[in-house]
Structure 1
């Protein structure tokens, strides 16, 4: 049986961190068919922001010195969280990045990738868990993850984005 992995980055949301700072996060939805041992859960859904993707790419770069990693959408000094077109363009770039990552077998051995995709742990906790410095294993962290719930620190959602009119339809989700 051939393994099928579907990953989508969707539902960008603008959050207010404090009086001056805001950020956008995105839902990462992962769906795996067949009995692959690469992924602990067959479906999962977590929210991540751009800086966390940058962290993930850096981690993968350290582990996979012999391959060229997919690129992230570049940091844009003129990026505006209020410009829907820019938010959706970044979202597509993040999805392209993750699609390439999950279809590169060498990268699938990094436990931080699995925690990033299938747990709601913060980056600090992912690092600690991957180093064995937590009371729970990587597998336990993934199984305990609520998967679809928003982390507690994400209480203040300012706005949800509506795709631009000419935006292509999202990929169909797998049936859970």
Structure 2
């Protein structure tokens, strides 16, 4: 059977850091029958700075000189209220993931699996991929939607590391800053996503390693 990996980046939402700052995150939906993935259907939310983190980790961990696709460039004038800019960025992020997932050499990368199928913070993804957590990559993926492996302290540290340098952040100085509002019309949702994992035990078994 031919292995298929389909990914979508959609549903942009404004999230609030504090009273003054906000950022945009996006839903990443993955549908696959590939044996490389623990979950066949998953959905997580990620922001632009996390995509930057993923590309850096893939570049660092690549044993071969793989030419990674580029992310949509940072735009100092990026606006959380500009639908055209948001749509262009979403298309660029989706194209980036589609090209990454076409490369078999990258499918065994732990950071890629944690990025796509867990809601761990950047610091926790790094720690888990390095074997410095009490849970494995597979457990983190299976636990997505069931338990939280990171604390509020970790989240605040990640926000402080990424907020200032991330061009998807902006100041919310209006009297009524929007929080978690959908900027664009939400597309039709796929079949209900299974956060509980499949009943049959599945393992990630790729040629260059196991996550």
TM over 0.5: yes
Within 5 Å, give how 1:72-91 maps onto structure 2. Answer: 72-91=71-90
Q: Report the Cα distance in structure 2 between the residues aligned to 1:66 and 1:72, rounded to whole angstroms.
A: 18
Q: Which has the higher contact order (CA 8 A, sep 6+)?
A: 2
Within 5 Å, give how 1:8-87 maps onto structure 2. Answer: 8-33=8-33, 36-64=34-62, 65-87=64-86
SS in structure 2 of the partner of residue 159 of structure 1: coil
Structure 2 gap segments, 5+ residues each:
156-177, 194-211
Q: Report the Cα distance in structure 1 between the residues aligned to 2:41 and 2:127, rounded to whole angstroms.
A: 24
CA contact (8 A) 2:30 2:41 kept: yes
Cα distance, 1:128 vs structure 2 = 0.7
Corresponding residue for 2:123? 124
Q: After the TM superposition, which of the residue ranges 136-145 and 61-70 deviates more from structure 2?
A: 61-70
Structure 1 gap segments, 5+ residues each:
164-168
Match of 1:159 among 176, 181, 188: 181
CA contact (8 A) 1:6 1:32 kept: yes
Corresponding residue for 2:198? none
Change in 2 beyond 3 A, CA 1:91/1:4: same
Structure having the higher strand fraction is: 1
Q: Report the Cα distance in structure 1 between the residues aligned to 2:74 and 2:189, rounded to whole angstroms.
A: 29
Q: TM-score, normalised by structure 2?
A: 0.72
Runs of 4+ in 1 over 3 A off after TM superposition: 169-176
Q: TM-score, normalised by structure 1?
A: 0.85
| C-alpha RMSD over aligned residues | 2.5
Which deviations, in whole Å up to 9, do the C-alpha atoms of 1:144-172 show, x marking residues without a partner?
1118xxx987xx83421125xxxxx9698
Corresponding residue for 1:135? 134
SS in structure 2 of the partner of residue 125 of structure 1: helix
Matched residue count: 165
Which deviations, in whole Å up to 9, do the C-alpha atoms of 1:53-100 show, x marking residues without a partner?
000000111122411101100001111111111111101100000011
CA contact (8 A) 1:8 1:95 kept: yes
Corresponding residue for 1:166? none
Which structure has the bigger radius of gyration? 2
